DNA sequence: GTGTAATCGAGACGGTACGTCTCGTCTTCTG
DNA sequence: CAGAAGACGAGACGTACCGTCTCGATTACAC
């Protein structure tokens, strides 16, 4: 979804810094109202309730205005997600890798169960199954930054001698955090903070260096 | 999705045993054609392509005939999945728990990448995000039987002294197999048989009993 | 509606005289139940309510049974009408032509307003607009016999010197009785016995001022 | 059919006078195309052929566009009729009542046999039998204006001494013109201009033999 | 009696049209 | 001249009947 990337990319530099664009600048108030409305509707009634007409009506905006700035419903949702989700939780520098990942796992569960991001992510992943651009954007803008943070933590852990060297970071993340996504999407087991901690523990007792 | 359960339930006893129903009996050929068409369409173009009209057209069947036997598109897809997917892979009795789960994990990846079940599952999980009946049916008919098989293996492993007692089976499954679903749905990392094996290994080195 | 004519033709000779056919004979009870149900439904909810499925359900009969004996819904309705409608009202031999036609007109209004024949006729005329066979059957079986009766009365009236010779019988009927059909179908004026009498009077007397 | 009345009511003032509505205005070209298509189809194949889908297809318009402006198929047909039918034939001021009604009767027959209005009216009357709103609209928009014109003529005739006072105008119309509708709908006798004239003559003169 | 053949109920089936819904584009008028 | 209002083409939705077609179960005449 190259178009989407462009769209969301130029949202921050809204005229102040960027090269002067001709014509009327985007109305930031309306822009925000759309994201707000889309997010609200998805939370209330799931993906199905967040029709373009409903978003436009709730935001007090015309449909065309939405299509002007986003190529699809998924793009709106993704941007809404980024706006609502926490910034990358900041982890104490001196925490052990295990503690750090635990903090991230717990933060993720909190995000899933007590913020709008949970339902939003479910909708986005659903959309991603049939729309490759959504999938790509989801990976690029949501997943990768968070995975990179964990990779850094793990590398630090290896350097500090907390972990075995040769750890497959991607696999570790897929276990420690991926299993939480799995529960979010399939709903076969409850999503609790305790479960998040146990998930990390399970991985650790496998990858931790042993005397 | 109780209605769905009923439907799929009485499909096996196709008249031989069951109480004689009056009227023209269900046409098994058409019934099968619908499942075939629905599966094909989902594989070709994802969930979006498998509209009821398209399924009916491709199967050479009227829409009403589909609605006679399935309550929703998701129900058709699920039954199509069950038809296409392998029976539960049978595991040698004398295999260790680790070997057994490895076999299951590898079989799962194969199912995902080289059979129609992969795309079908992606479509179904997508639908499940907004349709609770689909989610329920998916858990009841697909997920639970497979998870139960792993639980049995793990229990046997504990009994044989291969595993620590007190293992959280649900969590182990979420890691060993759930991470594969996670990759299927997010597509951030490749799904290979080697990865499946490493996934099991990662878990084991955590739960394996140590001298 | 040749098929219809055949069907309705062999309803009277129900086995007594006709060549003995092998197999199970027509079930006269069901036959009657269908006519009853069809008529009832048309009266209750108009033509629209008398669907074949509704008739079959109400008569406790399968759809096929109806199609066995009648080619169309209109055919059922027409036969239902003939069954319910009065036999041709008998007119005293010694009545004047005017009195005789008056009696017929009043009988017609009564038929329209206080028997099921009114709604049934409305339904049939409606169907006749798009189905020529219905129109033909309606004319042959319903209209013509009644018009012939009036023609006879008028001829007798001419013979007796009550009427001018050279009277256009068809036109007279279209006025004296046709205006009542017109009111039945358009509903712009009430259908009363008094109106029926005045209708006949108008034909007889004209509106011209006379010296 | 109040909704219908509204629709057809605001069709004349097409934006010039009426309160300025926001948004894209009704597309008059498409509006007309729908009426044209509906009329054509009814003439070609009767009411049955003029399905909403067929009208939409022939007019090159989406179904929803039709539903935007008309509540039912009957409403489309009625408006199509009004568009195609002649304006009320204008009658010379100095004509006698008899001549005036004759002119109207002949014009009516011409309308029936040589314009699309005949088949359209047959379809509409058919629909009116089961849909009261159609019946009402048909009376209000088609029948009443034409009947009122005759009433005026008859009153003038009475004032001029051409007719007996105490003439039942409604009944006269039902005879002079209603009998023509009767022939249109039942088709038992031909509809000719000569018959129209004789119909008026019959009302004027009566059939009674006079001393 | 026992065939045997037509009839019946029930209802599945391919169709066709219904009226509704949402999408994404377009057109016009307003601020 | 950007934006709201909303008309529009497209096309899927799920429902309702149509008329046809299988079934298995009933009759009732003919042998």
pLDDT attached to residue A197:
97
Q: Average pLDDT in the B122-127 region? A: 89
Alpha carbons D180 and A182: distance in angstroms, whole number: 77
- Summarised one tens digit per residue, pLDDT across range B152-202 is 999 999 899 888 888 899 999 999 999 999 999 999 999 999 999 999 999
Handedness of CA D22, D23, D29, D30 (dihedral sign): negative
Q: Residue A72: is its pLDDT beyond 70?
A: yes
D150-209 pLDDT, tens per residue?
Answer: 999 999 999 999 999 999 999 999 999 999 999 999 999 999 999 999 999 999 999 888
Is the CB of B190 less than 7 A from some atom of nucleic acid strand E? no
| B171 with A122: Cβ contact below 8 A | no
Q: What is residue B87's predicted lDDT score, i.e. its pLDDT?
A: 66
Confidence of residue C63 (pLDDT cuts 50, 70, 90): very high
Chain C 116-175, CB < 7 Å to strand E: none
Look at residues A188, A153, A194 and name the one whose alpha carbon lies nearest to residue A173. A153
Give the pair of three-digit tokens for residue C83.
Answer: 């069954």
Chain C CB contacts of D50 under 8 Å are none
Q: How far is the CA of D45 from the C1' of F9 (A)?
A: 26
CA distances from B104 to B107, B109, B189, B199 (A): 5, 9, 20, 12
Query: Among A7-21, C65-79, D62-76, where is mean pLDDT lowest?
Result: A7-21
CB pairs under 8 A between A and B: 134
Q: How far does A200 lie from chain B, in Å, by closest CA?
A: 10
Q: d(Cα C118, Cα C80) in Å, to the nearest integer?
A: 12
- Write out chain D residues lying below 8 Å of C159, CB-based: none
Q: Inform me whether the pLDDT recorded for B12 exceeds 60.
A: no
Q: Does nucleic acid strand F have an atom less than 7 angstroms from the CB of B51?
A: yes
Per the listing, tokens 């027959």 go with D109
DSSP class of D208:
B
Letter string b/e over residues C92-103, b meaning 16 or more CB atoms within 10 A of that residue's CB: eeeebbbebbbb
Q: What pLDDT is attached to residue D37?
A: 95
Nearest-neighbour CA in chain B from A93: distance (Å): 26
Check residues 61 to 90 of chain C and report those whose beta carbon is under 7 Å from nucleic acid strand E. Answer: 61-65, 68-69
Å from B57 (CA) to E14 (C1')? 11
pLDDT of residue A208: 59
Residues of B in Cβ contact (< 8 Å) with A130: 46-48, 123, 126
Residues C63 and C129: their CA atoms lie apart, in Å, by 25
Burial C56-90 (b: 16+ CB within 10 A, else e): bebbebeeebbeebbbbbbbbbbbbbeebbeeeee
Total residue length of chain C: 211
F14 closest protein residue (CA to C1'): B67
- d(CA A90, CA A104) in angstroms, rounded, equals 9
Nearest nt to the D61 alpha carbon by C1'? F9
Cβ neighbours around D61 below 10 Å, total: 19
Alpha-carbon gap: A177 to the closest alpha carbon of chain B (Å): 9
For B164, half-sphere exposure in the C-beta direction (CA atoms, 13 angstrom radius) is 16
Answer yes or no: are the C-beta atoms of C34 and C55 closer than 8 Å: yes
pLDDT at D131: 84
Q: Does residue D102 approach strand F to less than 7 Å at its CB?
A: no
Q: Tell whether the model's pLDDT for residue B5 goes beyond 80.
A: no
Report how far residue C160's alpha carbon sits from residue A198's, in angstroms, rounded to the nearest whole number. 114
Strand F atom within 7 Å of A63 CB: yes
Could you tell me which chain B residue has the CA closest to the CA of A198? B171
Question: What's the CA B42/C1' F24 distance, rounded, in angstroms?
Answer: 39
- Which two three-digit tokens encode residue C20? 């003995």
Question: Residue D129: its chain C contacts at CB < 8 A?
Answer: 46-47, 122-123, 125-126, 185
Q: How many CB atoms lie within 10 A of CB B34?
A: 23
Contact B208, B163 (CB under 8 A): yes
State the Cα–Cα distance between residues D153 and D169, nearest whole angstrom.
10
Instruction: Measure the CA–CA gap between A118 and B96, rounded to whole angstroms.
Output: 38
C51 touches strand F (CB under 7 A): yes
Q: Which residue of B has its CA nearest to A139?
A: B188
Q: B19 versus D111: which is more confidently predicted?
A: D111
In order of A37, A56, A122, the CA distances from A44 in angstroms are: 10, 16, 13
| DSSP assignment string, D164-199 | -TT--HHHHHHHHTHHHHHHHHH-SS---HHHHHHH
Q: Is the CB of D51 under 7 A from strand E?
A: yes
Neighbour-count burial for D110-147, b at 16+ CB within 10 Å, e otherwise: bbbeeebbbbbbbbbbbbbbbbebbbbbbeebbbeebb
- pLDDT confidence of A210, banded at 50, 70, 90? low
Question: Counting Cβ atoms within 10 Å, is residue D191 exposed (0-12), middle (13-18) or buried (19+)?
Answer: middle
Q: Which of C172, C182, C188 lies closest to D207 in CB terms?
A: C172
Q: Would you call D163 helix, strand, or coil by DSSP?
A: strand
Mean pLDDT of D27-35: 96
- What angle do helix axes C28-49 and C117-128 make, rounded to 10 degrees? 70
Alpha-carbon distance B113 to B142, whole Å? Answer: 17
Quickly count: other Cβ atoms within 10 Å of residue B40's Cβ. Answer: 18
State the pLDDT at residue B91: 85
The tokens for A96 are 């052990």
Q: Which segment of C150-159, C167-176, D3-12, D77-86 scores lowest on mean pLDDT?
A: D3-12
Average pLDDT over residues A8-36: 60
Q: Give A163's DSSP letter.
A: B
Report CB contact under 8 Å: A171, B202: yes
How many Å apart are CA A195 and CA C133, to the nearest integer?
76
Rounded CA gap, A134 and A146, in Å?
17
Long-range CB pairs of D45-53 (<8 Å, 24+ gap) are D46/C129, D46/C130, D46/D119, D46/D122, D46/D123, D47/C129, D47/C130, D47/D77, D47/D123, D47/D126, D47/D127, D48/C130, D50/D77, D50/D123
| CB neighbour class for B16 (10 Å; exposed up to 12, middle 13-18, buried from 19) | exposed
Q: Do D208 and C205 touch (CB under 8 A)?
A: yes
Asked if strand F contacts C72 at the CB level, meaning under 7 A, the answer is: yes
C77 φ/ψ angles, rounded to the nearest 5 degrees: -60, -45
Q: Flag residues 56-115 of B with CB < 7 Å from strand E.
A: 60-65, 68-69
- The per-residue pLDDT for range C163-209, each reduced to its tens digit, is 999 999 999 999 999 999 999 999 999 999 999 999 999 999 999 88
User: Which sign, positive or negative, has the C-alpha torsion D28, D30, D32, D35?
Assistant: negative
Among candidates C60, C56, C57, C91, which has minimal Cα distance to C76?
A: C56
Shortest Cα distance from A17 to chain B (angstroms)?
Answer: 34
Q: Which residues contact D156 (CB under 8 A, 6 or more apart)?
A: D97
Q: Are C80 and C38 in contact (CB under 8 A)?
A: yes
**Bridge partners for C208 per DSSP:** D163
Q: How confident is the model at residue B130 (pLDDT cuts 50, 70, 90)?
A: confident
> Which residues, 6 or more positions from B132, have their beta carbon under 8 angstroms from its beta carbon?
none
Concatenate the DSSP letters of all residues of B153-191 into one string.
Answer: HHHHHHHTTSB-TT--HHHHHHHHTHHHHHHHHH-SS--
The C-alpha of D18 sits at a distance from chain C's nearest C-alpha, in angstroms, of 33
Please report residues of B whose CB lies closer than 8 A to that of A199. 171, 174-175
**Axis crossing angle, helix B178-186 with helix A178-186, rounded to the nearest 10:** 80
**Is residue B19 pLDDT above 80, yes or no?**
no
**Residues 148-177 (D) near nucleic chain F, CB < 7 A:** none
Q: What share of chain D is helix, strand, coil (3-state, %, to 5)?
A: 70, 0, 30
Structure confidence by residue, pLDDT tens digits, C2-51: 334 344 333 333 333 445 667 788 889 999 999 999 999 988 887 788 99
Chain center to CA of C16:
28
- 8 Å CB contact between C109 and C191: yes
Give the distance from residue A100's alpha carbon to the nearest chain B alpha carbon, in angstroms.
19
Both tokens of C62, joined, read: 């399968």
Q: How far is CA C100 from CA C108, C175, C194, D60, in A?
A: 12, 15, 15, 58
DSSP string, A77-113: HHHHHHHHSPPPPP--TTS-HHHHHHHHHHHHHHHHH
Query: Which residues neighbour C81 within 8 Å (Cβ) at sequence distance 6 or greater?
Result: C39, C117, C120, C121, C124, C142
Q: Do B188 and A139 lie within an 8 Å CB cutoff?
A: yes
Residue nearest to nucleotide F27 (CA to C1'): C24
- Which residues, listed in sequence order, are joined to residue A163 by a DSSP beta bridge? A208
In the numeric block, which tokens belong to residue A183? 């529960």
Mean pLDDT estimate for chain B: 85
How far apart are alpha carbons B172 and D58 in whole angstroms? 63
Which pLDDT does position D16 carry in this prediction? 39
| Touching pair C, D by Cβ (3+ pairs < 8 Å) | yes
Q: What is the CA radius of gyration of chain A?
A: 19
Beta bridge partners of B163: B208
According to the model, what pLDDT value does residue A207 have?
A: 61
- Residues facing A208 on adjacent strands: A163
Q: What percent of chain C has pLDDT over 70?
A: 89
pLDDT of residue B18: 43
**By mean pLDDT, which of B109-113, C161-165, C181-185, D72-76 is the weakest?**
D72-76
- Flag if A183 and B181 touch (Cβ within 8 Å): no
Task: Give the chain D residue whose CA is nearest to the CA of C140.
Answer: D188
> How much of chain B, in percent, has pLDDT values that exceed 70?
86
The answer on pLDDT for A84 being more than 80 is: no
Q: What is the pLDDT of residue B82?
A: 85
Q: Look at D48 and C205 and tell me if their CB atoms are within 8 Å.
A: no
Name chain D's partners: 3 or more CB pairs within 8 A.
C
pLDDT of residue A47: 74
Mean pLDDT, rounded, for A103-128? 90
Band (pLDDT 50/70/90 cuts) for residue A71 is confident
* pLDDT > 50? residue B102: yes
Q: Give the residue ranges of DSSP H helices in chain A.
A: 2-9, 28-49, 52-59, 63-69, 73-84, 97-114, 117-128, 132-137, 144-159, 169-176, 178-186, 193-207
Query: How many residues would you count in chain D?
Result: 211
Query: A159-181 b/e with 16+ CB inside 10 Å = b?
Result: eeebbeeebbbbbbbbbbbbbbb
CB atoms within 10 A of CB A14: 13
Residues of C in contact with D189 (CB under 8 A): 170, 174
Distance CA C25 to C1' F16 in A: 33
pLDDT of A7 higher than 50: no
Residue C168 has φ and ψ, to the nearest 5°, of -85, 95
């Amino acid at each position: 979804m190259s178009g989407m990337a462009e769209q969301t990319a130029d949202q921050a530099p809204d005229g102040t810094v960027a090269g002067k664009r001709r014509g009327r600048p985007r109305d930031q108030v309306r822009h925000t109202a759309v994201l707000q409305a889309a997010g609200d509707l998805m939370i209330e009634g799931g993906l199905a309730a967040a029709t373009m007409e409903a978003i436009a009506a709730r935001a007090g905006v015309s449909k065309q205005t939405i299509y002007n700035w986003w190529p699809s419903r998924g793009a709106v949702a993704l941007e809404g997600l980024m706006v609502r989700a926490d910034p990358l939780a900041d982890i104490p520098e001196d925490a052990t890798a295990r503690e750090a990942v635990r903090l991230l796992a717990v933060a993720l569960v909190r995000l899933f169960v007590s913020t709008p991001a949970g339902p939003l992510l479910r909708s986005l992943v659903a959309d991603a199954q049939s729309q490759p651009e959504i999938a790509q954007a989801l990976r690029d803008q949501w997943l990768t930054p968070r995975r990179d943070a964990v990779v850094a933590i793990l590398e630090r852990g290896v350097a500090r001698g907390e972990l075995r060297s040769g750890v497959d970071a991607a696999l570790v993340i897929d276990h420690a955090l991926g299993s939480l996504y799995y529960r979010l999407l399939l709903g076969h087991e409850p999503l609790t903070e305790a479960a998040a901690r146990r998930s990390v523990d399970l991985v650790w007792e496998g990858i931790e260096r042993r005397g």
